[in-house]
A and B are shown apart, each in its own frame.
Chain A
Amino acid sequence: MEANAAAGNHRSSDPEAAPEVRPPSAGCPSPLLEAEQQEILTARARILARPPEQAEAAAERIEVVEFSLAYERYGIELSYIGEVYPLKDLTRIPCTPRFVVGVMNVRGKILSIIDLRQFFELPDKGLSDLNKVIIVRDAAIEFGILADAILGVRMLALSHLQPSLPTLTDIRCDYLKGITEDRLVVLDGGRILGDRGIVVHEEV
């Protein structure tokens, strides 16, 4: 608390005013030179001055699950993910749009599986294993997304996300949270889950 207050003071004051900050130890005999001491104190003050900034950054950080799909890397916010399940015993459901791969049985509950490449209308590119299902959900809906492999979970600072690339003009843009420097396409889970277009409701 005190440290924060001191840091605050420090920040608000002139850089020239820094020497005024003296630790209680200043009176004690010290083997360090005055200038050295001053340098350390300034550095310390700088570090102390940082916490509020860090807190701000933490608020804008998101945890994403990184996965690969058809030779591209995607990320989706961890908070939308229920679990990751191996794909087995998939049952195709006739008369469904192309992006619906089928359904599978997850502990007694039937879950539909979606192929994002089809949903995003990406051109078919390559053949991949698609052996994993990422189960995404919110209060209203739940379904699985096909993935080739789960690469891990990582923290991303939102400020590091680039809104989009001029080259990314396909439908993905609408569901994009951003793209990282290392070209990880971070999807907006909320927008995908909330999209009415993903719900199939068709009468004959």
Chain B
Amino acid sequence: MIDKDAAFLQRLLATFRIEADEHLRKIYSGLDELEKAEAAEQRTDIVEAVFREAHSLKGAARSVNLAEIEALCQAMEGVFAAMKRHEIEGSATLSDLLQQAADHLGRLLGAAGGEPDGEGKALLADLVSRLEEALPGENRAAEPKAPRAPLPPASPPRDPSSGPLSCVAPLPDTAPLHAVLTETVRVPTAKLTTLLLQSEEMLFAKLSAAQRVAQMREARASFHAWEKEWARVLPLMQQITSSSARATAGPGENSGAGTDPETLRLVEFLGWNREFIKTLETRFVSGIKTARHDSRTLDGMVNNLLADMKKVLMFPFASLLEILPKIVRELSRDNGKEADLLIRGEEIEIDRRILEELKDPLLHLIRNCIDHGIESPEQRRANNKPQRGTITVEVSALDNRVVLVIADDGAGIALERVRAALLKLGSLPRERVEELSDQELVPYVFQSGLSTSQIITGLSGRGLGLAIVREKVERLGGTISIETFPDAGTRFRIVLPLTVATFHGVLVRLGEHAFIIPAMHVERTVRLEREDVKTVENRETIHVKGVPVSLVRLAEVLELPAPVNRAAATDMIQTVVLSVAGTRIAFLVDEVLNEQEVLLKNLGRQLSRVRNVAGVTIIGNGTVVPILNAPDLLKSAVKRSAHSALPGIAADTRQELSRRPSLMVVEDSITTRTLLQNILGAAGYDVVTAVDGLDACSKLKGADFDIVVSDVEMPRMNGFDLTAHIRADKRLAELPVVLVTALESREDRERGIDVGANAYIAKSNFDQSHLLEVLKRLV
């Protein structure tokens, strides 16, 4: 435990050194500029900047318990603050003093973590007291007590071996100044992001390597089948060879026993062939072994690469939180409130992409604290609270996650107003709202459209804010919860993953489409009998652990064409129960495939926000699969059911059972294939697709079809050959075939008729109704 803490402290110190180094450099350059700057206005800006740097460095030092650095920064900060207020003016002596202080900071940083020596301590005390003396209340602009050597123009020392800079009492080499400097490299984040994208692509390489191994194993199974067949003919072969041996032994008797030289040669060849294939098998098996080994190595390498890449993109929270003090100051002023801001744990690191996405939600919550939370000073006094409110922003690490707490000590959320607003919103029946306990009521503040503010101010009141906050946080794979206490305040607790990384998703299938539903919203998956679907007030419901839950078709919510799937027409149905902020709805899917780790990717700038879809991910076989947005799904489902009663799932699918004509589309172009599939699916056909003639042949073997619609030019087996193949097959001879093709010459048309196509449609003048009419005639 102690070791762990020590290690943690070491890590913190390392981060601190890098951060402190940046602050120090900025302080140096600020001091430098200050000496040169003439215009008062310019000076004010510089002083402000240096002040902030000293302040941040102080905060950072405090967080790693470096009291000396903290004390020195504090003293420097005091001087800068006085300069800011124009209580003291910069002078040569003052700037010398500040330079020395900065130099000493550099030395302290170099030694950070180690024990300070006596001399260093003395120097520190001296510097601090002199800085304090420079302040107005004290002996203002007093002549320095100790004589000092003139300083060279300050510039951040770059060479760590340059030793101590000139200062009051030259110190022995306590530690090389800026030893950390050489260990950091500045790289534009854009470059790193590209790199990360590419490393993420390696994930696909890893997954496909594993899949290749699985395929090879499957292929190996055919060797077993081959072996079995051989075992059956082997005796026969032996019989032939032995009888021929006998024949050669005794040439006189029975020479015509089927052992003529040709047969013998064939048998010999078969023997050789068997050995040959066996050798192939052995090579194949060792191939599998190597492939498996490679796949495992790749797996480890990619995992390490990804983990390291992610670490590269980690940033301290400070970069996000540093904007807060100013915002809190300004917002409280504008709202006639008084508030202090406490920030803790800003040194904790998190993926830069999360920080970026977190900015808006964070600002929103801070606004909320000031607008809704903190009361006016008068009211606070009346309630026996300190006149100034406090807003706390606290970051802490929790296992592999980060907890961000935004709390205020204000009035808390007026739950009665939430209840009233909920009633007004009308998304829940009145009785339900009235039944809700205070505890149950709280999560509803995240509901879209709900606002307890009576007036819409510039800050809030539109009732969208918290819903958007939740959406953003959940998109990042995080969760947000809220606690509120009357008159004691409100706490928002956001738990975030350290990296955008991966979260768990449930892979579901709808017809030929696959979708991922974030697992955190999946309450459970339920498989039940079609009879278990009960209709309540014209809405279908199922019972989940004794509680009725409404049931909707996922395909319908996603506005997909009516599912055309024969497998769905069984007596069992598969549902996924989603739950968001207290609302639960069961979604009907065709199949729940598995649960897996997924990495959310954005849809790109053109698809800035798509209803019901949060993004996509790339799954094991390399396909891109949409990730659904659970809160959106629930909203859409509620909206849909408000508009129209859902068609009965039970009855509806029964009808599907009463048969739709089945049709196969054979087409190599993916767009055309999908277009045809959509047109024909919508026209009431049960559509199966094939990518070329060969694919079609194998699919035709597996099932019965009423008609085939095929392209002509395709790889492996073209449409003409496919048609010929169909005509040649006794079982399929009567199957109508429609060729849809870009080959429009008379010869091609004639060839189509020759091979036995029933219709020949040119792509250039393709017309949907024409095709449907032709199909109708043929089926």
Q: A residues touching B (Cβ–Cβ < 8 Å)?
A: 71, 87-96, 100-101, 103-105, 107-112, 114, 124-131, 140-143, 146, 198-204
Contact = CB atoms under 8 A, between A and B. Distances in A.
B610 interface: yes
B21 interface: no
B608 interface: yes
A114 B611 CA distance: 18
A87 to B, nearest CB: 7
B200 interface: yes
Contacts of B602: 110
Interface string B741-779: 010000000000000000000011110100000000000
B286 interface: no
A90 to B, nearest CB: 5
Given A107-B198, A109-B197, A95 B674 contact: no
A127 B768 CA distance: 10
B604 A94 contact: no
B671 A87 contact: yes
Given A94-B612, A94-B613, A124-B768, A89 B622 contact: yes
Given A93-B626, A110-B601, A110-B602, A202 B672 contact: no
B289 interface: no
Contacts of A95: 558-559, 610-613
A132 to B, nearest CB: 11
23 contacts: A89-B623, A90-B670, A91-B625, A93-B603, A93-B607, A103-B616, A109-B197, A112-B604, A127-B675, A127-B740, A127-B763, A128-B672, A130-B669, A130-B671, A130-B672, A143-B606, A198-B606, A199-B605, A200-B608, A201-B609, A202-B609, A203-B609, A204-B635
Given A126-B765, A127-B766, A108 B604 contact: no
A112 B612 CA distance: 16
A51 B622 CA distance: 55
B618 A105 contact: yes
Contacts of B606: 100, 112, 114, 141-143, 198-200
A204 B608 contact: no
B241 interface: no
B381 interface: no
6 shortest interchain CB distances as A-B pairs:
A94-B558, A108-B201, A130-B671, A91-B624, A127-B763, A143-B606
A128 B669 CA distance: 8
B626 A91 contact: yes
Contacts of B148: none
B395 to A, nearest CB: 30
A103 B602 CA distance: 10
A201 B616 CA distance: 16
Nearest to B674: A92
A128 B611 contact: no
Contacts of A88: 670
A91 B201 contact: no
A112 B602 CA distance: 10
A111 to B, nearest CB: 6
B158 interface: no
Given A130-B672, A200-B606, A201-B609, A94 B200 contact: no
Nearest to A193: B606
A90 B671 CA distance: 8
A103 B603 contact: yes
Interface residues of B, number: 47
A37 to B, nearest CB: 60
Contacts of A141: 605-606
A202 B200 contact: no
A146 B671 contact: yes
Nearest to A96: B610
A107 B195 CA distance: 11
A83 to B, nearest CB: 15
Nearest to A130: B671
Contacts, number: 132
Nearest to A70: B764
A4 to B, nearest CB: 45
A116 to B, nearest CB: 13
A91 B612 contact: no
Contacts of A87: 670-671
Contact of B609 (A107, A127, A200): A200
Contacts of B636: 204
B93 to A, nearest CB: 51
Contacts of B611: 95, 202-204
B394 interface: no
A130 B601 CA distance: 25
A128 B742 contact: yes
Interface string B620-631: 001111100000
Interface in B664-681: 669-672, 674-676
A110 B558 contact: no
Nearest to A104: B624
A107 to B, nearest CB: 6
Given A105-B624, A110-B615, A199-B608, 12 more contacts: A93-B616, A95-B612, A108-B197, A108-B198, A110-B624, A112-B604, A126-B764, A142-B606, A200-B610, A201-B608, A201-B609, A203-B611
Contact of B672 (A92, A108, A111, A127): A127
A39 B645 CA distance: 91
A113 to B, nearest CB: 9
B278 interface: no
Nearest to A111: B604
Contacts of B676: 127
Contacts of B742: 128-129
A139 B606 CA distance: 12
Nearest to B613: A93
B632 interface: yes
Contact of B616 (A71, A110, A114, A198): A110
A136 to B, nearest CB: 10
Contacts of A107: 197-198, 201
Contacts of A89: 622-624, 670
B606 to A, nearest CB: 4
B170 to A, nearest CB: 54
Contacts of B626: 91, 93-94
Nearest to B611: A95
A125 B765 CA distance: 7
Nearest to B634: A204
Of the candidates B197, B624, B639, the one having the most CB atoms from chain A within 10 angstroms of its own CB is B624
B141 to A, nearest CB: 53
